[in-house]
Amino acid sequence: MIILGTNSIKAAGGYDVANSLRFNDGSTDYLNRTPSGDGNRKTWTFSTWIKRGNIGIGNPINVFGGEDGGSRYSDIMIGTPSGADDTFWFKQDTGTVAELRSTMKLRDIAAWYNLVFTYDSTDSTAADRMKMYVNGVRLTSFVTNTNAGSNVDSYVNTSGDPNYIGIYQASSKKLDAYLCETVLIDGTALAADSFGEFDSDSGIWKPIDVSGLTFGTNGFYLDFEDSSALGNDAAGSNNFTVNNLTALDQSTDTCTNNFATMNPLDNYYFGGTFSDGNTTVLSKASGFTYCTSTFGVSAGKWYIEAKWTSGSYLRFGIVNSPSTAVDDNPGNSAGEAVYRADGALVLNGSESSGYGSSFASGDILSIALDCDNSKIYFAKNGVYQASGVPANGTGGTTITNVTTLTSGNYFFSFGDNDNGATSTMSYNFGNPPFAISSGNTDGNGYGNFEYAVPSGYFSLNSKNLAEYG
């Protein structure tokens, strides 16, 4: 199965979003600001685009909220009090609770969602005082629906009370996700069509330019385009303080160009731990771990990198089906090819021990996958093994033609069957979670890679898939 979100395959034309910001729940990553004066506490609109990282984690995760540092708050979250159902959730406690929680679940980790929440306690219709939209559609089905009282002040836009993005009161409910086009409108209740529109050709909900909106006293527009000032308000001076986020957390994986990641929903055997927006995988020490990429490919030429930091029996390569469809390690089945940490090549279940160099901590590995000519090339630190030259098609390893595969697609894979030690691998599909010293793009100008992308090969993202996949 290919796991692709509703806005994943075809990038809609028109307005392009350059950058997102990647939050990791394994660290204390967040943004905060404290308004110096009251804005409109009764009427406001929040909008962001979000791509999920870890899902089903033990607590709800905070996307945005205003909080008094004690028991009073107005928070937009994903999850529930028990954490596991991944619903769109707003809860406010001003002494009286107002709450709206969707039946819809946000579990597609390969897709970007546009979330819009409107708070307007001045509305004479109680059911319209809190509104939720996902990808342009207003939600009407809720697990919990407790209306805000008439003219009740929220804790958003409150003088002296901090606003947080990515965390609750600087300590808990940590966000694991990418955010882009993050907006607060102070003083106006807006519908979703102020932030996006349906593409006339694809029907996909896509972003529109919001820079011309009226943001109000405490409103802001975070575009995350300045890597040295990730909390900069592009609409004015309501800048956020950046906490434990660096230039490395700025990503080109956005709602207009969606990049592949590794897939926590396809996490086989004893399961790995995912971080850095699902680009880093840590295996279990107590058993085997096997997972695959969110995107599968059946045509075109594709290039990825990965940095290995620990372990002893890692398998890095391609497989022909998600991990849950098989009962062994990558490489052990027909239509699979992996480069193993000891330098061996495992192809269709057969091992060639003298294929290439073994891995060491810090090595950057590459795959150039040619689906059109049924070849794969592995590199270590920019040197292709077995005299392969992917740019001109010489050398390389012949793989099974995709037309004969069970799934009809190749997926990039992670495997570790050490059963006693962990392995860690960070994957770069063009959106690196590790520092890049060289900064190479593909021929379309997409991606950020340590080594030169072979001519004719491309990073794995929605714009390239639309053209070449």
Measure the CA–CA gap between 352 and 306, rounded to whole angstroms: 22
Residues 30, 149, single domain; the answer is yes
Residues 49, 188, single domain; the answer is yes
| Span 87-128, pLDDT tens digits | 999 999 999 999 999 999 999 999 999 999 999 999 999 999
Q: Half-sphere exposure (CA, 13 Å, Cβ side) for 70?
A: 4
- Residue 256 lies inside a defined structural domain of this protein: no
Domain edge (last residue) among 229, 251, 273: 251
Alpha helices of 126-168 — where are they, by DSSP H? Answer: none
Domain edge (last residue) among 196, 224, 251: 251
Q: How much is the pLDDT for 2? A: 37
Per-10-residue mean pLDDT of the chain, 469 residues long, equals 39 80 91 97 98 80 91 91 82 94 94 98 98 98 96 96 93 92 98 97 95 98 98 97 96 98 83 89 80 93 94 86 66 88 92 91 96 97 96 95 86 81 91 94 97 98 88
Q: How much is the pLDDT for 3? A: 36
CA angle 81, 129, 115 (to 5 degrees): 60
Range of the domain at 135: 20-251
Contacts of 70 (CB under 8 A, 6+ apart): none
Q: Is 168 in contact with 149 (CB distance < 8 Å)?
A: no
Tell me the whole-structure pTM to 2 decimals: 0.93
Measure the CA–CA gap between 258 and 223, rounded to whole angstroms: 16
Based on the structure, what is the number of domains in the chain?
2
Residues 243, 315, single domain; the answer is no
Residues 157, 215, single domain; the answer is yes
Q: How much is the pLDDT for 11? A: 41
- Residue 5 lies inside a defined structural domain of this protein: no
Domain edge (last residue) among 251, 273, 297: 251
Residues 30, 178, single domain; the answer is yes
Q: How much is the pLDDT for 4? A: 36
Q: Is 42 in contact with 151 (CB distance < 8 Å)?
A: yes
Q: How much is the pLDDT for 57? A: 66
- Residue 15 lies inside a defined structural domain of this protein: no
Residues 338, 463, single domain; the answer is yes
Residues 306, 266, single domain; the answer is yes
For residue 180, the domain's CATH number is 2.60.120.200
For residue 362, the domain's CATH number is 2.60.120.920
Measure the CA–CA gap between 458 and 304, rounded to whole angstroms: 8
Q: How much is the pLDDT for 56? A: 67
Residues 339, 246, single domain; the answer is no
| Span 141-198, pLDDT tens digits | 999 999 999 999 999 999 999 999 999 988 888 999 999 999 999 999 999 999 999 9
Residues 236, 358, single domain; the answer is no
Q: How much is the pLDDT for 378? A: 98
Q: Which two tokens stand for residue 165?
A: 């993005």
- Residue 433 lies inside a defined structural domain of this protein: yes
| Span 311-320, pLDDT tens digits | 777 889 999 8
Residues 226, 284, single domain; the answer is no
Residues 268, 298, single domain; the answer is yes
Residues 357, 427, single domain; the answer is yes
